[in-house]
Chain A
Amino acid sequence: MRIILVGFGVVGQSFLKLLVFRHNEFASKYGLRPRIVAIVDRGGAAVNGRGLDVDRILKIKKEMGSVSKDPNDGSPYLSANEVIEKIEAEILIEATPTNIKDGEPGLTHIKKGMKTGKHIITTNKGPLALALPALTDLADHNGVHLRFSGTVGGGTPILDLGRKCLIGDRILSIKGILNGTTNYILTEMSEKGIEFESALRMAQELGYAEKDPSLDIDGFDTACKLVIMANWIMGKKVTLKDVKIAGIRHITLRDLMNYAKKDNTIKLIGSIDEGLEVKPRGISKRDPLCVPGGLNAVTFVSEFAGEETIIGRGAGGMETASAIFRDLIDIKTNLSAKFRI
């Protein structure tokens, strides 16, 4: 299976490391033989139709900053769009950073990939939040699969639980903590008794929060994930503009103290019910959703099975890379089903 990887940050590199660790197991257990035929990062591309030397590429990335520096396979002037159009492959993994303004460059990458007949795996929430109904349409039209397990819950199989494990039942509503950074900040504030600003600074120092933390703390990241869940699990054709969004900037230590008196606390909760909404809410500390630190938790309310809550680490390179492999195996299984002997 030939793969083009666009975006070679933490997730992309973790994916390659996982590939090295698990290569034999993937082959023997799932019949999966991934060959990375191209990688594109900010500095250019590395291309080899027979499959790049993964160990060497990881080393070059680490030491020289860009895969395009590879002496054999590097091409500094090749753009992602050129690679997607010109290089033959079955799978495009889109792992560029999320941009919720216009979804670019990921959106164009995904569309070009579909047009050239490639199945898409993405960890990039921007294009999905802005245009998931359109992308699903385009995937069907081009006869390709679109998978994005890693966009919600990192390695925690939240999307699969909702869509596959609860099949046959009807999911009435979903609510949960979907952003690790804000949950870390709120947990620190209430446990250590510090104000929002200092908790945010700590999160930034530890690398949990970006320099520009707006995507997380203003609720947009959670909103993106809600859009993805609403489309994928509940079949609602919604985009980011359909979500009511409020973040946690204005939450004070005092607010938390007040809630704590009744054994409650404040969490940034995303919910899908009649509508989609992100806002800080008070919840009981005994609620299964009330998880500490960087964890994610999602509760599904279904018609017959009642409430189920899944808890797990919401982000991280290896976690998200494992979600990419889930998608790869899922696509491979779907494709080979036609040829069952």
Chain B
Amino acid sequence: MKLVMKFGGSSVGDGDRIKRVAKIVHEQVNQGDKVAIIASALVGVTDDLLKASDEAKRGNIEYIHDFIHQTKKRHVDAVSKAIKNQLLKEEVMSFVKNTIEELEKVFTGIAYLGELTPKSLDYVLSFGERLSTPILCYSLRDIGLEADHFSGKDVGIVTDANYGEARPLMSLTKYQVRQRLEPMLDKGAIPVVTGYIAVTQEGFITTLGRGGSDYSATIIGASLGVDEVWIWTDVDGMMTTDPKIVPSAKTIPELSFQEAIEMAVFGAKGLHPRALEPAMEEGIPVRIRNTFNPTNLGTLIVNKQKIKAGEVVKAVSLIKSVSLINVSGAGMVGAPGTAAKVFEVLGRNNVNVLMISQSASEANISFIIKRNQLGKAISALEIAMLGQGIVREITSEERASIVAIVGAGMKGTPGVATRVFGAVAKKGINIVMISQGSSEVNISFAVREEDGEDAVRAIHEEFGLDG
């Protein structure tokens, strides 16, 4: 089998964990698989770099000094633990030290200029992966594998210049990645590539933003035409629900891309919908696996959804810390443009809307936003909409939660809604808002915050998700 395996930050958290990853790779290679590796930064390093950039921008040289010292220590420790062979150790150590020296120069520059552009921030953020990747590569060599490390730039992932959230030029990228990595794979060597990092056609470093390293993995997987992309993380896969709410929640063995995207949107751990795109386009299955429980086969995400009889709902998630806003007024009935204005006001104020519902009477529009944006949203709407004789009132329910139910089997199955709302009603829970997209893969409804977990439990039980 030809595989791309991506290891997330917690999988490469320190030297011991990197050794564990090397062992996983070794076993796979022993089975005769051809493997390309994508690595994230050591857990927390990217956030630390972000914080340090901010301090550098403010000219806090002392902070930078401490930060450089600690970052160096952390990576040096990881090298010492992950690699036994003295020669290899020295080789990678000097690489790490040089890279950190470069980082210190970059920070010093930022501190003196007092300026941090999205372009320079991407350059700074690239250091996390540029430091982790060689360590993982040398730990593979340490156990006798043939491996080499590359940055996203080296392998030719080319993007637009939208720093912080760059989009790959897919055809060019595919061509270049294939050119550079295929010969290596063919002779059984393992390329270890930085996640998250790419480059503009002018040669400036960009980052892939949301989806990050997972996105790198699917891009490279699509480029190499692999059989599967494996995302190694610290959970067993996509779950039927949050096990903190339902302890008997189970890993879902198989999902369609469409279902996975719905779940990812609703906060399923560790996947951004954007990251699934390249794999979905090529029809390459993506498997989510647990580095700390490698015998579990995790969740496989595939193109063709196989709907088993009776399997209607696959997962139910709870989105907390949201608020509901209700815009109402008899004057809204038959007044074209009201909804457009409401959402224009929210858009201009950078308020993201998670869920929308309007009654056919048109006398009110309800929608759900993140709770920390409630004050801003209400104020902006009041200023823009009230006093014009159309919108009469803007009210809110501050403490709400969304319950989202996902399953391709719901499509065309009558009575799903009855079961969902029946189960919730039996617990005496009041539903404050309902929304179902016409794709029928998802039903979402909102309840008061204190009812959220009970609603999830009721649905988990109703559809027998714990087996």
Contact = CB atoms under 8 A, between A and B. Distances in A.
A21 interface: no
Contact of B383 (A1, A27, A49, A88): A1
Contacts, number: 52
A35 B396 CA distance: 14
B383 A336 contact: yes
Contact of B387 (A50, A88, A332): A332
Interface in A23-44: 27, 29-33, 35, 37
Nearest to B398: A50
Nearest to B332: A341
Contact of B388 (A31, A37, A90): A31
B341 interface: yes
Interface string B162-190: 00000000000000000000000000000
Contacts of B388: 31, 336, 340-341
Nearest to A335: B383
Contacts of A335: 383-384
B375 A2 contact: yes
Classify chain B: how many residues form its interface, as a range: 10 to 19
A32 B382 CA distance: 7
Nearest to A3: B379
B382 A341 contact: no
A338 interface: yes
A341 B335 contact: yes
Contacts of B379: 1-2, 35, 89-90
Given A88-B375, A88-B376, A339-B345, A27 B338 contact: no
B386 A31 contact: yes
A90 B376 CA distance: 8
A30 B387 CA distance: 5
B32 interface: no
A310 to B, nearest CB: 28
Contacts of A332: 383, 387
B415 interface: no
A341 B337 contact: yes
B466 interface: no
B385 A336 contact: yes
Given A1-B379, A2-B379, A88-B376, A339 B344 contact: yes
A203 B335 CA distance: 59
A90 B390 CA distance: 23
Interface string B366-391: 00000000011001101111111010
Contacts of B375: 2, 37, 49-50, 88
A339 B341 contact: yes
Interface of A: 1-2, 27, 29-33, 35, 37, 49-50, 88-90, 332-333, 335-336, 338-341
Interface of B: 335, 337-338, 341, 344-345, 375-376, 379-380, 382-388, 390, 398
The 9 closest A-B pairs by CB, nearest first: A31-B387, A31-B386, A339-B384, A335-B383, A2-B379, A33-B382, A336-B384, A30-B387, A339-B341
